[in-house]
Amino acid sequence: MPVHRVVRQVTGESTGQVLPPVGTSARDGPRTASADFLRDGIYELRVSLGGVHHRILYFFHDAIAAVVSHGLVKERAVPPKEIDRAVERKKRFEANPARHTYEEA
């Protein structure tokens, strides 16, 4: 699923309203996003909107792309079952990248 659909599904907002444009910093606007490594090749992108903490879990495909696993809303730490879900999706992607690649029609 393309990242703009995941962002809309998780936050109800468009990508441009949630994520700062590449090359900008927090001082360039009110949007804030940060990322962190979780485990097993899985990262989280943290975005807060209106006091709600959204998380988008993703991994890297070589040096080619970041692949979005899924998103969730969380209060504290990302639950281990959500990381496990992302790890399983990473394994499925790595087994057949072409099958899991989105292309605009």
Binned at pLDDT 50, 70 and 90, residue 19 comes out as: low
Q: What was the pLDDT predicted at 83?
A: 96
Q: Is 28 exposed, middle or buried (0-12, 13-18, 19+ CB in 10 A)?
A: exposed
Write out the DSSP string of 10-53.
HHSS-HHHHSPPTT--GGGSS--EEEEEEETTEEEEEEEETTEE
Binned at pLDDT 50, 70 and 90, residue 79 comes out as: very high
Non-local (6+) Cβ contacts of 16 within 8 A are none
Q: What was the pLDDT predicted at 25?
A: 41
Q: Is the per-residue pLDDT at 66 higher than 60?
A: yes
Beta-carbon neighbour count of residue 8 at 10 Å? 16
Q: What was the pLDDT predicted at 85?
A: 95
* Mean pLDDT for the chain overall: 76
Q: Which residues pair with 93 in a beta bridge?
A: none
